[in-house]
Amino acid sequence: MKNPYIPYLVEILDAWYEAPGDRCIKTFKVTFADPAVWDVWSHRPGQCAMVGIPGVGESMFCVSSSPTEQGYLRFSIMKTGRNTSALHELEAGDRFYVRGPYGNTFPLDEWKGKNIVTIGGGIGQAPLRPVIQYIRDNRDDYGELTVIYGARTSADHCFKQEFEEMNACGDVCCHLSIDVEEEGWPHFVGFVPQLLLEAEPKPDNAIAVTCGPPIMIKFVLQNLEKLGFQPEQVYTTLENRMKCGIGKCGRCNAGPLYVCKDGPVFSYAQLKQVPEAFA
Amino acid sequence: MVDQAKLREVAREVISREDVRLLIGYRPGTYGFRARPAFVESAEQVEELVFTPACVSNLASYLVLEEKPPLPRGAEPDNRKVAVMVKGCDSRALVQQMVEKAYERDHLVVLGIPCSGVVDMARVEARFPGVLSAGSIIREGDDFVLSFDGKTEKVPAAELLADKCKRCRYPTPLVSDIMLDDEVERFAEDDFSDIAELEGKSVEEKWAYWAEKFSRCIRCYSCRNVCPMCYCEDCILDRLKPVWMRRSVDISENTAFHISRAYHLAGRCIQCGECARVCPVDIPLMELNRKFYKDVEELYDYEPGLSTEATPLLSTFSVEDREDFIL
Amino acid sequence: MADKILKKDKAAEALKELSKFRLFAPAKSDDVVLFRQIEDPAEACLDYANSTVPPKKVVFPQTETLFRFKLGNPELREKNVEEEGTTVIFGLRPCDARAMSIVDNLFSWDYEDPYYLKRRELTTLVGMACVTPPSVNCFCASVGGEPFGTENLDLLLVDMGEEYLVKVLTDKGGKLAETIGSFMENAPEGAAAKAEELAGAAREALSRSIDTSGIEAKLPALWDSPLWKEVSAACLGCGICTYLCPTCHCFDIQDEVEDAEGRRCRMWDSCMFREYTLHASGHNPRPTRKERTRNRISHKYSYFPGKFGVIACVGCGRCVNLCPVNIDILEILGKVVEA
Amino acid sequence: MAENTRETFEPNIVAFLCNWCSYAGADLAGTSRIHYPSNVKVVRVMCTGRVNPLFVMNALQQGADGVLVSGCHPGDCHYMQGNYYARRRFTLMRRFLEYLGVEPARVRMSWVSASEGSKWKEVVEEVVEGVKAVGPMDQFKRRQLNW
């Protein structure tokens, strides 16, 4: 069996900034240096991978591309610490290391035939992106797709172009927001939980998936309840510090859960049993 | 020795005051001769309070150990006073904390305990192993009297006394609001004879000595956490940027850790001996601290933790400071 | 293989023979007993209570390299544990051996941890039965162990006074026994019975106990209980209880670079440290020692048994003996039972 | 690095020099073509008061055989007092390291002013000689133990 601690070398095909600032977000489009890795690598939307540079460290990020996008992986990474800062230095042609994929996935097979609502905030859109992409690539299998997304300012919006495309194509119902009024902003102004109430998705035959800062998730969950969503219909992802990614080091534990193995995807119904999940 | 009834009575009065939120004292431990810290928030809890020669902990540590997570929106912090029981040595930690402006004097209600020495629990347990049911230790003249399992044993104090007490210069607390007993006269002197032998050795012998000690270190950081003077919110040991000390446990990083820990206590260590007491692998940490203590006294005529008016040693200088080694 | 006898005056020769392997045995440093790699049998101290640091460090070193690399070179060179060769831990206590079998669950579920498992495979465990409990705070019998427990051991030695009775428990143990066969003789009739007697007496001598039934289910229900604040009030937040626990297995991974060479390595970590769960954002899901203490107890007595069916505590008593402020896991569990 | 024997040993000395005096002094030595041993690796700091005593420890860990801290003469500090604080700190550090078994020759301090190019040469010579006499630092250098 392969040593799970040894990462694969990847090469950056393309890299660009999604959002500026101190905590800027950069997206990396990468492929394995050894094409044979593609034969053993298969990830599903929601899964994560350890991304790192030997000599600096590793951190867990969700794979922000859908398996339906062939030939590359995408990671959208916010600059927060030592490892992410080092990653941000890298450009197309540079290399780093990836191991994974880790964790569980959004149960997209179970969701077939349902209406899907994604509610994202800031960098929280990264794990939702593969869900949206996957559904769009298998459009006939799913009902309506509603995408709700907000960030602090219009510049902080990730995946801007893709939202524009989605707005234009018509097969996705797209709701965007920013926190504070800006000149020329044609969409909603306010926080994501408010936008959710505004958009008012119907709970019938629907699944809601939310991802974002903890405070946003807290109010989104409340508002989804108000809209009539049952806890079983609501999914989110958890994030904790991680080191091994393979259920050994214990760091990501939230109560009895290993976020890296049992998660990162959990239904709200599941998390209600684990008080530490919301700590 | 402190009258236990009086101690409880005073504690009851103090914790009943509206401006006191917490009283930190001692209570019997869970087995044998042990005593442990007690956190009293209401008058009902004072009945368990004790002070005996088994009360080894320096409770001053808890004044700077409290973690304050962000309060829920709208909640007010509880800024009422904390009452704390201190022995002579422990009181010096309070003084030094105040020298460093860790908190204001009126944040505290100090219950002073003049102390004629506590035991070295390891020595007690080695002498009387296997005692599970509650045993008691009291001081009678030059002896400790230990009662356990229906037996009573008298042991000369010197045989069980903690090392720090054998050279204690300040048995009576230097700061207190309420003194729980009569002053204890200074009964010992400190001539640093304990480190003299090592000081006299060659550098090779010294390194051989310390390399063996440091190689045992498991970096549990109990010495740091128990220390009343180690209270930086952001300790360099935990820093990842820059990495001062790597987390890997080997002779290089362990030595670096011990140098850093001891140096950060230069001119600050008040000789309570807690670090050496808690070390699970018996590294003689006080021998490190005492080297600084001795040098600081010798070179700068400075003893930390004596007066709240003092200036921290390394935040000051004298133009006349010795510089015989400088080229 | 039938039981053997190893005379105490032959023990040194047997150890000498075993030192051709990577041999770890209890040894004294000042007054502290630690498992150390032994080359000279005189270093070993078999007449000991228990080691301060559990022998888990032999199979799960406090710091170990995962792989090495050179800066600017994409090659990652995996640490080869096989090279360490046959390892013998001589004279460990049955609780510490049992602890390894508990930790095995963790390192082999789902992804297999190649470093730990390879080392386990290379290691032969020679136990030393506890004729008298090493400490007043031993409570192995309450959590599924025995002072003469054989679980996970390859050989068990019983101190019979002048000699050790050697019980061969596995094939691996048998092989090891063969290498020191010339120093041993067949056990006389009645030796086994005498050992049984000693085992019974040792069990009787355990002074502390706890009824663990129901604790697993009860702990999650006590999430908001005031008991956690009470039992953690004195906690200093040091790593003694976890680092010295034979079943604690959490680790950190760090990269280290020296000149142009580097390694990725892992080292023990403790859930009692603030930094353990601290997010890069500054948020801490376990903000105070109260939450950390609750997690430590819950992990040992509820989460781990929930996942692997066995309590992650072997009752060795180290955390009780060595806690600087006398936080006593049995007292906490007692409160959980009562609550 | 090549294996050093005591005879051929060329020590690695890290020198923390204050910007205003010692760095300028060393610079003067250079521009005056004063030859001095090339064993010192200079780290320029604004003031000796900025040199954390743990820099010494860290340098010794990373492979220095000796450390020199050099600043303005007492009374001449550009920041008035920085060198006085440094003096206290390094007096204690040096004694402490000696107590742990690090030869005092490895931890040195000097006052070299901007005009003392020749004194800089003497200081470096003395420090290098001193470290040569005690040999390579091998007490707690980061070694690739079990890597």
CATH code for the domain in which residue A200 is found: 3.40.50.80
Burial of residue C225, with CB atoms counted within 10 A of its CB: 0-12 exposed, 13-18 middle, 19 or more buried = middle
Domain count for chain A, please give it: 2
Of D57, D96, D102, the CB nearest to B203: D102
H or E element in which residue A233 lies: none
Residues A120 and A81 in one domain: no
**D118, D87 in Cβ contact below 8 A?**
no
CA gap C326, B84 in Å, rounded = 19
**C8, C14 in Cβ contact below 8 A?**
no
**C87 in helix, strand or coil?**
strand
CA gap C299, C295 in Å, rounded = 6
Residues A120 and A98 in one domain: no
**D88, B300 in Cβ contact below 8 A?**
yes
List b or e across D31-57, with b for residues whose CB sees 16 or more CB atoms inside 10 angstroms.
Answer: eeeeebeebbebeebebbbbbbbbbbb
In the prediction, which pLDDT does B228 show?
A: 97
**A154, A124 in Cβ contact below 8 A?**
no
CA gap D102, D92 in Å, rounded = 13
Kindly state whether B199 is in contact with chain D, defined as any CB-CB distance less than 8 angstroms: yes
In the prediction, which pLDDT does A264 show?
A: 94
Is residue A221, in this structure, part of any structural domain at all? yes
Of B209, B314, B326, the CB nearest to D85: B314
What integer best gives the mean pLDDT of chain A?
93
**C103, C117 in Cβ contact below 8 A?**
no
Instruction: Name the region of B2 (left: φ>0; alpha: ψ -120 to 50; beta: rest).
Output: beta
As given in the structure block, the two tokens for residue C258 are: 């020296």
**C3, C192 in Cβ contact below 8 A?**
yes
- Contact residues, chain D, for B243 at CB < 8 Å: none
Burial of residue D106, with CB atoms counted within 10 A of its CB: 0-12 exposed, 13-18 middle, 19 or more buried = buried
List b or e across C56-92, with b for residues whose CB sees 16 or more CB atoms inside 10 angstroms.
Answer: bbbbbbbbbbbbbbbeeeeebeebebeeeebbbbbbb
CB contact under 8 A, B238 and C275: yes
CA gap C263, C257 in Å, rounded = 6
Q: What does each C-alpha distance from B79 to A45, B68, C111, D44 come to in angstroms? A: 49, 12, 50, 46
Q: What does each C-alpha distance from A117 to A64, A211, A270, C83 come to in angstroms? A: 17, 11, 19, 54
User: What SS3 string covers A47-65?
Assistant: CEEEEEECCCEEEEEECCC
In the complex, which subunits touch A with 3 or more CB pairs below 8 angstroms?
B, C
- Cβ atoms < 10 Å from Cβ of A22: 7
Residues A127 and A152 in one domain: yes
Query: Which of C51, C56, C66, C136 to probe by mutation at the B interface, max B CB count within 10 Å?
Result: C136
CB half-sphere exposure, B98, CA atoms < 13 A: 21
Q: What is the pLDDT of residues B292-325, one digit of tens each?
A: 999 999 999 999 999 999 999 999 999 999 998 8
What integer best gives the mean pLDDT of chain B?
95
Kindly state whether C150 is in contact with chain B, defined as any CB-CB distance less than 8 angstroms: no
Q: Which residues of A touch B (CB under 8 A)?
A: 81-82
As given in the structure block, the two tokens for residue B225 are: 């956490």
Q: What is the pLDDT of residues B102-136, one digit of tens each?
A: 999 999 999 999 999 999 999 999 999 999 999 99
CA gap C93, C114 in Å, rounded = 25
Kindly state whether C64 is in contact with chain D, defined as any CB-CB distance less than 8 angstroms: yes
- What is the mean predicted confidence (pLDDT) over A17-23? 91
Domain of A197, in residue numbers = 115-237
Nearest CA-CA distance, residue A56 and chain C, Å:
6
Q: What is the pLDDT of residues A183-203, one digit of tens each?
A: 999 999 999 999 999 999 999
In the prediction, which pLDDT does C2 show?
A: 87
- Chains C and B touch, contact meaning at least 3 pairs of CB atoms under 8 angstroms apart: yes
CB contact under 8 A, A256 and C306: yes
Edge-first strand listing for the sheet containing A73-78? A57-62, A48-53, A95-102, A8-19, A25-32, A73-78
What's at B224, amino acid-wise? Answer: R
Confidence of residue A157 (pLDDT cuts 50, 70, 90): very high
As given in the structure block, the two tokens for residue C105 are: 């669950």
Q: Which of A102, A131, A151 is the last residue of a domain?
A: A102
CB contact under 8 A, A250 and C285: no
Kindly state whether B244 is in contact with chain D, defined as any CB-CB distance less than 8 angstroms: yes
Q: Which of C193, C66, C212 is nearest to C145 (CA)?
A: C212
Q: Tokens 């400071």 appear where? A: B321
- In order along its 339 residues, chain C shows pLDDT tens digits of 789 999 999 999 999 999 999 999 999 999 999 999 999 999 999 999 999 999 999 999 999 999 999 998 999 999 999 999 999 999 999 999 999 999 999 999 999 999 999 999 999 999 999 999 999 999 999 999 999 999 999 999 999 999 999 999 999 999 999 999 999 999 999 999 999 999 999 999 999 999 999 999 999 999 999 999 999 999 999 999 999 999 999 999 999 998 889 999 999 999 999 999 998 878 899 999 999 999 999 999 999 999 999 999 999 999 999 999 999 999 999 999 998
**A107 in helix, strand or coil?**
coil
> Is residue B172 over pLDDT 60?
yes
**C168, C240 in Cβ contact below 8 A?**
no
- Contact residues, chain C, for D142 at CB < 8 Å: 258
Pairing verdict, β C4-7 and B178-179: unpaired
As given in the structure block, the two tokens for residue C155 are: 């050989």
Instruction: Name the region of C161 (left: φ>0; alpha: ψ -120 to 50; beta: rest).
Output: left
Of B132, B238, B249, the CB nearest to C208: B132
Kindly state whether B203 is in contact with chain D, defined as any CB-CB distance less than 8 angstroms: yes
- What is the mean predicted confidence (pLDDT) over B249-275? 96
In the complex, which subunits touch D with 3 or more CB pairs below 8 angstroms?
B, C
Edge-first strand listing for the sheet containing A206-211? A188-189, A173-178, A145-151, A115-121, A206-211, A234-237, A265-267
Radius of gyration (C-alpha) of chain C in whole angstroms: 21
> What DSSP string runs through C263-330?
EEEEEE--TTSGGGT--TTS--SS-SHHHHHHHHHHIIIIIHHHHHSS-S-----HHHHH-TT---HH
**A38, A116 in Cβ contact below 8 A?**
no
Kindly state whether D92 is in contact with chain B, defined as any CB-CB distance less than 8 angstroms: yes
> Is residue B49 over pLDDT 70?
yes
> Is residue D1 over pLDDT 50?
no
Pairing verdict, β D66-71 and D107-111: parallel
| CATH code assigned at A22 | 2.40.30.10
- Cβ atoms < 10 Å from Cβ of B76: 6
Q: How many helices (H) and strands (E) does chain D have?
A: 4, 4
CB contact under 8 A, C253 and A279: no
Closest residue of chain C to D61, computed from CA coordinates:
C258
> Is residue D2 over pLDDT 70?
no
As given in the structure block, the two tokens for residue A56 are: 């600096």
Closest residue of chain B to A57, computed from CA coordinates:
B240
CA gap C120, C315 in Å, rounded = 22
CA gap B154, A128 in Å, rounded = 73
- Contact residues, chain B, for A82 at CB < 8 Å: 240-241
**What ranges do the domains of chain C cover?**
4-205, 215-338
Is residue A86, in this structure, part of any structural domain at all? yes
Query: Which of B238, B240, B243 to probe by mutation at the A interface, max A CB count within 10 Å?
Result: B240
Closest residue of chain C to B22, computed from CA coordinates:
C233
Kindly report the CATH number that applies to the domain delimited by D13-134.
Answer: 3.40.50
CB contact under 8 A, B256 and D111: no
CB contact under 8 A, B259 and D74: no
User: What SS3 string covers chain B?
Assistant: CCCHHHHHHHHHHHHHCCCEEEEEEEEECCCCCCEEEEEECCHHHHHHCECCCCCCCCHHHHHCCCCCCCCCCCCCCCCCEEEEEECHHHHHHHHHHHHCCCCCHHHEEEEECCCCCCECHHHHHHHCCCCCCCCEEEEECCEEEEEECCEEEEEEHHHHECHHHHCCCCCCCCCCCEECCCCCCCCCCCCCHHHHHHHCCCHHHHHHHHHHHHHHCCCCCHHHHHCCCCCCCCCCCCCCCCCCCCCCCCHHHHHHHHHHHHHHCCCCCCCCCHHHHHCCCCCCHHHHHHHHHHHHHHHHCCCCCCCCCCCCHHHCCCCCCCCCCCC
Kindly state whether C65 is in contact with chain D, defined as any CB-CB distance less than 8 angstroms: yes
Q: What is the pLDDT of residues A220-265, one digit of tens each?
A: 999 999 999 999 999 999 888 899 999 999 999 999 999 999 989 9
- Contact residues, chain A, for C302 at CB < 8 Å: 256
Residues A131 and A186 in one domain: yes
Q: Cis omega (within 30 of 0) on the bond before C285?
A: no
Residues A131 and A60 in one domain: no
- Contact residues, chain A, for C277 at CB < 8 Å: 240-241, 251
CB contact under 8 A, C279 and A7: no
CA gap C258, D142 in Å, rounded = 8
Burial of residue B71, with CB atoms counted within 10 A of its CB: 0-12 exposed, 13-18 middle, 19 or more buried = exposed
Query: Which of B65, B148, B230, B248 to probe by mutation at the C interface, max C CB count within 10 Å?
Result: B248
- Cβ atoms < 10 Å from Cβ of A26: 20
CA gap C6, C176 in Å, rounded = 13
What's at B83, amino acid-wise? Answer: A
Q: How far is CA B72 from the centre of its chain?
A: 34
